[in-house]
Amino acid sequence: MKIMSINAGSSSLKFSLFNMDTNEVLVSGLFERIGIEGSCYTIKNSEFKIKQEATLNNHADAVRILLDKLIELKIINSLEEIDGIGHRIVHGGDKYTDSVVVSDQVIEDIIRFSDYAPLHNPAHAVCIKAFKEVLPNTPMTVVFDTAFHQTMSKDRYLYATPYEWYEKYQVRKYGAHGTSHRYVSKKVSEELGRDDLKIIVCHLGNGSSITAVKDGKCVDTSMGFTPLAGVVMGTRSGDIDVSLVPYVMEKEGKSVGEILEILNKKSGFLGISQLSSDSRDIEDAIKEGNEQAALAQKMFVNSVVKYIAQYYVEMGGCDVLAFTAGIGENS
């Protein structure tokens, strides 16, 4: 049995194809800088590694190239050899607390929850539809990043806003990257042979979040109602004073939607550096003496430190500090 896992990020698509009978990774790879100049993809296994530039205007382009390459590289003889596909989804709202099989209703819900995750859920839906178009009879499942954070207590996931907002509109902290935080904290426990650990997991990439995990359960997490909250990110502002929104709306003559678009897609590394949303570009620019790039990185580091310190206090200490995702693993 061959199963493919798909992780569509805000500007990336990671994949692995597994032979479940032999527990072997047949091939894996990454499509990166989707929608950004200089987009490319990497496909590799134990025998080869291919890195190629490509025009990736959106995630559908990445899906088409991926499926074509699996045949071209003779990883599989036909697409029908793929027995199932699993997708990582950022936001499932209050509705989804477990993995589910993809249906038209699930796709509709993923799109409906796009207000909570405007950079990710639309990309997830595009990927699912693209796979469904080519492989209509292949079963697909989804796992939601918000599920792991359902163990937060009400005093940590509620905002100090009118309680009726929560009752009427489900206004609360949901968090994100739960699939990553669950896996990383579980692997740490396995490595140390203990289940009673206080772990702070730093998932740092184009999107970043930090989670306090105690005894295998989420205690608190940095992202909020949407993935816009928390630390400084590639294109997201992270935490800000919400009074900035009407202030800039008036000054710039922009709508709420336009301001949110800026806070989600033109802030963070990109907004401060005025150069790029990619941490690698930021680091290269710092080496060349770019002060704006250095400022962006300092602001990012400061925001990460703040959350680590907060969660250290919240849990009464920390046994392990773990780093993952593109920046966390490589920077």
Catalytic center residues: 145
For residue 188, what are the CA distances in angstroms to 179, 185, 196, 324?
14, 5, 11, 12
Task: Phi first, then psi: give them for residue 212, nearest 5 degrees.
Answer: -90, 120
Please check whether residue 27 is in contact with residue 74, taking contact to mean a CB–CB distance below 8 angstroms: no
Report CA dihedral (129, 135, 136, 137) to the nearest 10 degrees. -140
- Cα separation of 311 and 177, whole Å? 17
- Cα separation of 244 and 21, whole Å? 54
Q: End-to-end CA distance of the chain, in Å?
A: 36
Please check whether residue 2 is in contact with residue 82, taking contact to mean a CB–CB distance below 8 angstroms: yes
